[in-house]
Structure 1
Amino acid sequence: MDLHLQPDWHRALGQRVEIWRDGEFFRNGTVEAVMPDQSILWISAEGATSRQMIFRKEGCQVFAHFLPAPESVNFY
């Protein structure tokens, strides 16, 4: 599984992501909501970790998890 910077936070909605702040890992989780201007997103609560607001202005970046494409199958 690869991580890719997702500058368009709306595209991360519902996705499993990692949040990095100032070049350091901050939190991971699922994006639950995004403000229309993409200034804030919410990571859903998981286990003992509560729901959390993530602020772009604080240097936060969203990295989305992408699974590699399945290998092509030759049917000939």
Structure 2
Amino acid sequence: MNSQATLEAPRDATDLNREQDGQGGGASKKVLGLRADWARLTGRSVEVWLHGEHVASGVVDQASEDGSVLWIAAEGISTRRIFDKSSGYQIWV
């Protein structure tokens, strides 16, 4: 049995700009949402998921114009990584 906790994919949010109203003071917060248009994510902090498992988190360094692939910037000892939509990866912002 694996002792590592399994993360669940975020659910029920599909629009990056959707916000929920906070309580008191008019504060609001962003809702985590699945993104289909990867071409517009350069500079955004994202989570990468594959088949319901969290694969990576980071800042999008670059994305193809057609939105089929994106690169997550290198951080610390991690190298720059590429993810392609056709392999089933999902990007959550």
User: What TM-score comes out, normalization by structure 1 length?
Assistant: 0.77
Identity among equivalent pairs (%)? 38
Aligned length: 64
Distance in 1 (CA, whole Å) between partners of 2:42 and 2:51 is: 22
**Does residue 60 of structure 2 align to residue 47 of structure 1?**
no
Per the alignment, residue 21 of structure 1 pairs with 50
Which one scores higher on RCO, CA 8 angstroms, separation ≥ 6? 1
Q: Say what the alpha-carbon RMSD is for the aligned residues.
A: 1.1
SS at match of 2:39: helix
How does 1:1-76 map onto structure 2 within 5 Å? Answer: 2-64=31-93
Distance in 1 (CA, whole Å) between partners of 2:36 and 2:58 is: 17
User: Where in structure 2 are there 5+ consecutive unaligned residues?
Assistant: 1-29
User: Where in structure 1 are there 5+ consecutive unaligned residues?
Assistant: 65-76
User: What TM-score comes out, normalization by structure 2 length?
Assistant: 0.64
Distance in 2 (CA, whole Å) between partners of 1:34 and 1:17 is: 13
Distance in 2 (CA, whole Å) between partners of 1:11 and 1:35 is: 9
Distance in 2 (CA, whole Å) between partners of 1:18 and 1:2 is: 13
More strand per residue: 1 or 2? 1
